[in-house]
């Protein structure tokens, strides 16, 4: 009997010893990884902003969010008010994911053809809708099609929003191949590039995982527009 108890105790002791060794290995590994992480080097990497216009889209918005999360990237979504009204839950998904929401007007009209009052309606109505649903105020505004004039710039400023265009146009709404979209970005990308993409294009969605990986391989951090504007002091 005494022998059996001794044997059982020995097993327990050995088992707890192994368990403790494993736990200490895990925590040592985690600590080592963390302490070796070079924040300075990370923050000094070149940055770029992916932007997705014209959503929220009933299928593509969630798919884009999922890819961004899987690939460890952030982006900015320029949303259209009439779409937001139909899919408010998708706007919330964007907000909760830590990606940024930008104002792309209520109707997606060519603002250069509207008077100041109509431009104000387009910007303000969407801004208020975004605020009501998410509690967030968009910091950036993008005129549909990139069409703007003095009125548009002034009204956006009066609404406290900065106009944000882009530096790389992928022409993705013309539905080129995914390879074309990737090539267009990879051949033109530089530090602080702002890349124009759209939410409802299958070729853009297909291009996205590979494109993000290639951009990361080139050393880029993929951040929101607000983070791009911060000057690199934060991730």
Strand pairing partners for 162?
Answer: 140
Closest listed residue to residue 165, CA positions, set 144, 136, 138, 186: 144
State the number of binding residues for Zn ion (CB under 5 A).
3
Q: Between residues 54 and 161, which has the closer beta carbon with respect to Zn ion? A: 54
DSSP annotation of 222 reads: E
DSSP strand E in 162-207: where?
162-163, 168-169, 193-198
Q: Whose Cβ is closer to Zn ion: residue 81's or residue 221's?
A: 81
Rounded to a whole number of angstroms, the distance between the first and last alpha carbons of the chain is 63
CA distance 76 to 74: 7
What mask of x and - would describe binding to Zn ion in positions 136 to 155, judged by CB under 5 A? --------x-----------
- Beta carbon nearer to Zn ion, 54 or 100: 54
Instruction: Please report whether residue 172 would count as binding Zn ion according to CB under 5 A.
Output: no
Contact flags string 98-137 toward Zn ion, x per CB under 5 A: ----------------------------------------
Interface mask (CB under 5 A) for Zn ion, residues 75-94, using x and -? --------------------
User: What's phi and psi for 196, nearest 5 deg?
Assistant: -90, 120
The residue with its CB nearest to Zn ion is: 53
Q: Catalytic amino acids?
A: 53, 198
Closer of 181 and 220 to Zn ion (Cβ): 181
**Shortest Cβ 147–Zn ion spacing (Å):** 10
**Among the listed residues 47, 48, 53, 207, the single contact to Zn ion using CB under 5 A:** 53
Residues 6+ away with beta carbon under 8 Å from 100: 74, 75, 76, 77, 139, 140, 224, 225, 226
Q: How far apart are CA 21 and CA 229, in angstroms?
A: 46
**Segment contacting Zn ion by CB under 5 A, of 45-53, 64-72, 115-123, 170-178:** 45-53
- Contact residues toward Zn ion (CB under 5 A) are 53-54, 144
């Amino acid at each position: 009997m005494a022998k059996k108890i001794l044997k059982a105790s020995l097993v327990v002791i050995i088992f707890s010893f192994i368990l403790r060794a494993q736990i200490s290995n895990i925590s040592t590994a985690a600590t080592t990884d963390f302490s070796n992480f070079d924040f300075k080097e990370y923050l000094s990497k070149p940055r770029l902003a992916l932007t997705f216009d014209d959503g929220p889209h009933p299928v593509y918005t969630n798919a884009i969010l999922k890819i961004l999360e899987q690939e460890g990237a952030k982006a900015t979504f320029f949303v259209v008010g009439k779409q937001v009204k139909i899919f408010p839950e998708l706007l919330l998904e964007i907000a909760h994911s830590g990606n940024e929401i930008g104002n792309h007007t209520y109707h997606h009209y060519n603002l250069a053809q509207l008077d100041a009052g109509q431009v104000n309606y387009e910007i303000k109505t969407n801004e208020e809708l975004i605020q009501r649903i998410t509690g967030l105020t968009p910091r950036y505004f993008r005129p549909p099609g990139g069409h703007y004039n003095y009125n548009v710039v002034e009204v956006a400023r009066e609404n406290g929003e900065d106009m944000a265009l882009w530096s790389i146009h992928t022409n993705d709404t013309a539905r080129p191949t995914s390879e074309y979209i990737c090539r267009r970005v990879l051949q033109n990308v530089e530090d602080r590039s702002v890349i124009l993409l759209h939410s409802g294009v299958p070729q853009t969605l297909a291009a996205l995982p590979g494109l993000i990986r290639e951009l990361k391989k080139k050393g880029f951090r993929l951040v929101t527009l607000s983070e791009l504007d911060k000057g690199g002091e934060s991730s």
